[in-house]
Amino acid sequence: MDHATIYLVLAAAFGLFMAWGIGANDVANAMATSVGAKALTIKQAIIVAAIFEFAGAFLAGGQVTATIRKGIVDSEQLSGNPEYLVFGMLSALLAAGIWLAIASRRGWPVSTTHSIVGAIVGFAIAGIGMEAVKWGQVSSIAASWVVSPLVSGFIAFLIFLSVQKLILRTDNPIANARRYVPMYIFFVGFILSLVTLFKGLKHINLDLSVAQSYAIAVGCGLVTMAIGIVLIGRLKIKKKADKDFRFTNVEKIFGVLMIFTACGMAFAHGSNDVANAIGPVAAIVSVVASGEVSQSAALPTWVLLLGALGIVFGLATYGFKVIRTVGQRITELTPSRGFAAELAAATTVVIASGTGIPISTTHTLVGAVLGVGFARGMEAINLRVVGNIFLSWIVTLPAGAILAVFFFYTLKGMFTP
């Protein structure tokens, strides 16, 4: 294939840029509840995310990945022009990366999946035609705009109500926190293990049955609960601290919980969402090597490493803007509220994995934060910020598509006679 080296260099550069965008936006909002609740500082969140996102992306990011993300393009129609797939994937990476950079600068938490899907749809329409796009698949992804925040918001609302009933609105909240928080820690370990087993580790062919996955998740939950009990036992309860805010010591106990949720969510996220950056890169590498279009391709280690490094770099350099929006500007978060939001988001991901409901992790987490806010009444929510976030979600698909069309024709003009 002509220009093969140039295609590979551009794929590496644009893939790194897209991974940077995921780190700046998607990872940032996954860590936002921990920072907003003041369970972690931004610096600590970056260190936690760097370790666990990298581990998730590199260890469980996948040995084989779908070359055309989400099966939204009929690849048979590209078999006669494999170079079009190279131009398309380069365009999609650059378009989605630019949109994520714009959104991150504005502090908008947008879906990286929707960004890359919008971009691929744009190139497919421009390069092949309307009939190349599997519109049913695109519609189901678009439906997640509504499904994700509604489901996670409702679950977060119920979890926070349970925290209020069992702990916050009782006569002795500290004693009840010591009694019930270990049970919540068990559910955190259990649910996050299921997220990792169903979504994160599915690529490495563990070949576990559903029953085996649930058994492992129960074991992880029990171990996590035991560690949590030890850590809570070591906390120093200062009665004077409750003088200004009655629940200062209770929130300190929930702060222990937030450390577990932050680590687990970072691992699960890294293992799953790195595919949005490295999938198109793997497609380009496969076409350049074989000269043919295939549905899946072996994933070189350097591509996985590229995605993992890009995600960590994006969070460290630009993630603070989205962290501020989700963690501090939608509603006021405390460790107990942040925990309810993160557990609800993780639970929604598990439900979606089991039922096949398409969801966006970003929309899921924002919906969960809204659910916690609703539990305290509408006045607890910053509706102006929420309106801007919803608008950015609607714009994401067409923005990615329009940018991809522009870059597709530019690359095609540069590399074809």
Give tens-digit pLDDT for 321-335: 888 888 888 888 888
Predicted pLDDT at 355: 67
Distance CA 295, CA 81 (A): 15
Given pLDDT bands bounded at 50, 70 and 90, which one contains residue 15?
Answer: very high
| Structure-block tokens of residue 287 | 């076409």
In the chain, what are the domain boundaries? Answer: 3-415
Task: Find tokens 């979600």 and name the residue.
Answer: 393
Given a cut of 90, whether residue 16 has pLDDT beyond it is: yes
Query: Are 92 and 125 a contacting pair, CB within 8 Å?
Result: no
CA angle at residue 365 from 360 to 371, to 5 degrees? 125
Q: Which two tokens stand for residue 368?
A: 């969960």
Give the bridge partners for 298, in sequence order.
64
- Categorize the per-residue pLDDT at 353 as very low, low, confident or very high, splitting at 50, 70 and 90: low
pLDDT band at residue 257 under the 50/70/90 scheme: confident
**What whole-number distance in Å separates Cα of residue 369 and Cα of residue 153?**
7
Taking only the tens place, the pLDDT of each residue in 201-218 is: 655 666 778 888 899 999
Whole-number Å distance between alpha carbons of 211 and 357? 21
CA distance 358 to 362: 12
Count of C-beta atoms within a 10 Å radius of residue 373? 25
- The phi, psi pair for 3, rounded to 5°, reads 60, 25
Instruction: Quote the tokens at residue 158.
Output: 């119920």
CA distance 90 to 399: 16
- Binned at pLDDT 50, 70 and 90, residue 63 comes out as very low
Choose the most confident range, by mean pLDDT, from 61-70, 98-107, 120-129, 130-139: 98-107
Q: What are the distances in angstroms from CA 199 to CA 14, 29, 212? A: 25, 19, 15
